[in-house]
Amino acid sequence: MSRPAAPLAALTLLLLAACGQLPTSQGLTPQVDAPAFAALAPQALSSSAADSWRQQVIYLALPDRFHNGSVANDNAGQPYCFDPAWPTKFHGGDLAGLRSKLGYLKDLGVGTLWTTPVYAQVPEVNPRTSGASCGYHGYWPDFRNPSDLAVEPKLGTASDLSGLIADLHANGMRYMMDMVVNHAGYGAAVTRSNPGWFHPDCSGDDVNCPLAGLPDFRQEDSTVAAYLTTLSKNWTSAYAIDAIRMDTAKHVPLNYWQGSWVPGVLASRSNTFLLAEAFLTGGASQLKPYLDAGFDSTFNFPLRNALVSAFAKGGSLDAVAGSVQDYVGTLGLSRALLTVNLLDNHDVPRFLNEPGYGVPEDEIRRRCHLGLAALFTLPGIPQLYYGNELGMYGGADPDNRRDMPSWAWTSSGRSGTYSGFLPNPGLTYNLVQKLAGVRRNNPGLWKGSYAELWRPNGGTNVFAFYRGYSDSTVGSRLVVAFNNSPASASVTVNIGANTAISSADRTYLASRTFDDLAGQGAPATATSSGGLLTLSLPAKTFAIYRAR
């Protein structure tokens, strides 16, 4: 195991490795030598299952930072790792806490709960130094043998995990388990029992070099590959999970996914939704190989960068229009609708921190609400990060992993003013709740085609698009528009001449009244005539117009 000698340097690397992920900007998609595994065709997600996932809203929670449901386990497991005042140690949140707050998530409109890994973690790293840290985040697993399914004691027990999943299912919700096969935790038991299973120290190679000194598995070795795949299969056999979020996917050979892990896991639990975390920001062409290797979806980090550039930083919406054109065009609509879109997560600064110093909070709120609206209306599955719905601030890791506040659970609590949050967090909570309902009740937003209607092209900072399909269902045809400029704006879009929209839909929309579902200050209705539709929006707002 490689560990930095200096505590401060160690802390920097440990924080970067806390989710085992570092961003690659415009880099090449990792490639490997000739496949070392038999060519096995990954089992595709069924059509009905794919449609059901397109309807989801995913919510990421770090169990340790969400809610403490049982103080009895605070000091369980590894010693010296419970300290609520220490940013990189356990704070007391647990699986029992999540179980007790499922009503909050369901009321918000969440369909799938994704938790960071629940594996038992290695002992305190860099003990008794200023760089001391523990695996509160779950990404430093103390792997032993594939049949060892130990849950981190500070998070609870196997019974707590089974109970959480059962409660989710009873509420019509789903559970996404976070898994790791790229690396083990610092000094994990498996590194001592099988030291030959790991790559030597090196740098400059995403696949074969350790990430921040974490012991890096040699998946090209068939014994190691079998160990890791069996490990994942045992978790899918033991628990009724619905999905897997795979950490650090870009740091693992592509042929391991296609030849071992994907077919192995799907043989254990068919129709499991497989989501790859490939932290690549250069464009959809970098994400496509992971879909080709058998994953159902990837996180849309290129779009996330565009949303930050346009909305959080007040830039041109050309960035967003271009990113959507890229991922829909490169991946195709079917795959694009399964792509997971996000504003932030536990690896990047929170969206609210991106505007920088000196931006008034009212303006930050407007930018935040524009970003959230894009998340729920663009092609793909929206992913919330705990606290997004409350206007939570947070800088780089670990500041972006603050504790969920105790006042969050009630509407009266969300009406106050608190340090580290936008004033009156209930305004943002209510918007998220509304957007989730609009998306759920208007299938054009989760399964409809996409057609760009307007982009700035260096001019008026308005972006408009069509989402829909030919059907008599209410909510099958919608026009969404964003005005990111500091002044009101009006644009006229030519639906009738837009060949990206089906002929049947162009005819239907040529002379039609549209009702705004967003209620953010735009006119309550808009009417098309001769295929032309004029959209008028106040400054820094959006509209979601549903065709009657």
Task: Give 200-264 as a DSSP string.
Answer: PS--S-TTTS-STT--BB-TTSHHHHHHHHHHHHHHHHHS--SEEEETTGGGS-HHHIIIIIHHH
Domain stops at, among 441, 470, 498: 441
Same domain, 472 and 529: yes
Would residue 419 count as lying in a domain? yes
CB 97 within 8 A of CB 63: yes
Per-residue pLDDT tens listing for the chain (548 residues):
233 333 434 444 454 555 544 444 333 333 333 334 444 445 568 889 999 999 999 999 999 999 999 999 999 999 999 999 999 999 999 999 999 999 999 999 999 999 999 999 999 999 999 999 999 999 999 999 998 999 999 999 999 999 999 999 999 999 999 999 999 999 999 999 999 999 999 999 999 999 999 999 999 999 999 999 999 999 999 999 999 999 999 999 999 999 999 999 999 999 999 999 999 999 999 999 999 999 999 999 999 999 999 999 999 999 999 999 999 999 999 999 999 999 999 999 999 999 999 999 999 999 999 999 999 999 999 999 999 999 999 999 999 999 999 999 999 999 999 999 999 999 999 999 999 999 999 999 999 999 999 999 999 999 999 999 999 999 999 999 999 999 999 999 999 999 999 999 999 999 999 999 999 999 999 999 999 999 999 999 999 999 99
Check residue 46 and give its pLDDT: 87
457 plus 433 within the same structural domain: no
**Residue 434, both tokens:** 């509304």
Q: Is residue 476 part of a domain?
A: yes
Cα–Cα distance, 30 to 287 (Å, whole number): 10
| Judgement on whether residues 79 and 122 belong to the same structural domain of the protein | yes
The answer as to whether 37 is a domain residue is no
Two structure tokens written together for 101: 């707050």
User: Do 411 and 267 share a structural domain?
Assistant: yes
Residue at which a domain ends, from 441, 459, 485? 441
What total number of domains does the chain contain? Answer: 2
Lay out the sheet containing 532-537: strands in order across. Answer: 449-454, 462-468, 477-483, 541-547, 513-516, 525-529, 532-537, 489-494
Q: Are residues 414 and 458 in the same domain?
A: no
Tell whether 9 is covered by a domain.
Answer: no
Structure tokens at 523: 């006119």
Task: Give yes or no for a contact between 538 and 481, defined as CB atoms under 8 angstroms apart.
Answer: no
Residues 512 and 364 in one domain: no
Q: What is the predicted pLDDT for the residue at 45?
A: 84
Same domain membership, residue 496 and residue 417: no
> In terms of domains, do 318 and 461 share one?
no
Q: Contact 155/240 with Cβ under 8 angstroms?
A: no
DSSP 446-487: HH-EEEEEE--TTSS-EEEEEEE-S-SSTTSEEEEEEE-SSS
The C-alpha atoms of residue 138 and residue 180 are separated, in whole angstroms, by 9
Give the total residue count for the chain: 548
Chosen domain end from 441, 476, 504? 441
The tokens 């790991």 sit on which residue?
198
CB crowding 3-14: b at 16 or more within 10 Å, else e? bbeebeebbebb
Residue 167 domain-assigned?
yes
Look at residue 42 in the predicted model and tell me its pLDDT: 53
Asked if residue 511 and residue 538 are part of one domain, the reply reads yes
CATH label of the domain that carries residue 531: 2.60.40.1180
pLDDT of residue 152: 99
**What are residue 421's DSSP bridge partners?**
392
- Is 33 part of any domain? no
- Let me know whether 117 and 154 are in one domain: yes
CA distances from 296 to 217, 291, 330, 438, 513 (A): 24, 6, 15, 25, 37
Question: What is the domain range of residue 68?
Answer: 54-441
Would 248 be classed as within a structural domain? yes
My answer on whether 126 and 273 are in the same domain is yes
pLDDT of residue 19: 54
**421 and 451 belong to one structural domain:** no
CATH number of the domain enclosing 66 = 3.20.20.80
**pLDDT at position 3:** 31
Long-range contacts of 319-323 (CB under 8 A, 24+ apart): 320/374, 320/378, 320/463, 321/452, 321/455, 321/456, 321/463, 322/455
Does residue 10 lie in a domain region? no
